[in-house]
Amino acid sequence: MTKRIGFIGLGIMGMPMAKNLLAAGYALTVFDIDKSRMEGLSKVRKASTSREVAAASDIIITMLPNSNHVKEAVLGKDGVIEGVQAGAILIDMSSIAPLASKEIAEALKKKNVEMLDAPVSGGEPKAVQGTLAIMVGGPDEVFEKVKPLLEVMGSSVTLVGEIGSGNMTKLANQIIVALNIAALSEAMVLATKAGVDPEKVFQAIRGGLAGSAVLDAKMPMILDGNFKPGFRIELHIKDLTNALDTAHALGVPIPLSGIVMEEMQALRADGKSSDDHGGLIQFYEALAKQKVRRTSKN
């Protein structure tokens, strides 16, 4: 299989993903609107536009913040669609609205270009480790062609359905993650306010039914008061916005998601939009006037 890969978007997630592809021996042509990010990669071809990336690549990966950014990079002026070759494959690994994925795929189909939507879960740590969960939507035969490439970046790579299904699965994932963080925040603030050591509560419950990957990943950060972003609150707001919009279009009530969305919006209004989404606990801490930290730091 070809090893000419294009990579557009070198942010918190995109950079380590691109580095893992380089380490696996793939030749990369990269582009980011922030030119300084490209300087963080050696042994790559640095493009000046998304169009240039597409012209030099058989497979193009996009890893961008939201639907409008992907549309601009793919369908806009100097976008992928202007330089892409017939027979190429676009893998959009961004988390965007499912309908946007379908719209982009339809436009590319006219150029004889296939597309997969393949959003990821796991945050920066798993992007660095190459152990992301990757949820893929698109044709089975296209998925099989690029599966080895995706397995360089993820330890779990699953085809879930037609184009748009990957992003629908990611929305489900983001609802569960958001509600998990809200639940652990509420519970830990309560326990700490009652005088119980939150670190001991964490150790006591993590092996039981309340245990989760979210609890294991976020609780140590909370105990240290470390809200350096692996996944920013503002990006989770974006995902919940897409979830709510999609749910409303389908006539599906998702009331708990709406509540957590407003909690995150409150933190954004308080200047915390760039905090890690585990920082949602700060909303509950402010209500109860009780921080959840290791005993030595309380």
Give CA–CA dist 129/126, Å, rounded.
5
Judge whether 19 counts as a catalytic residue: no
Give CA–CA dist 176/13, Å, rounded.
20
Catalytic residue among 126, 170, 218, 272: 170
The pair of structure tokens assigned to 179 is 């509600």
DSSP letter (8 states) at residue 297? G
The pair of structure tokens assigned to 160 is 């879930």
**3-state secondary structure (DSSP) of residue 155:** strand
The single-letter code of the amino acid at 105 is A
Backbone dihedral angles phi then psi of residue 130, each to the nearest 5 degrees: 75, 30
143's CB contacts (< 8 A; 6+ apart) are 116, 136, 159
CA atoms lying within 13 Å on the CB side of residue 48:
0
**Can you give the C-alpha Rg of the chain in angstroms?**
20
Cβ proximity of 63 and 170 under 8 Å = no
- Annotated catalytic sites, by residue? 170
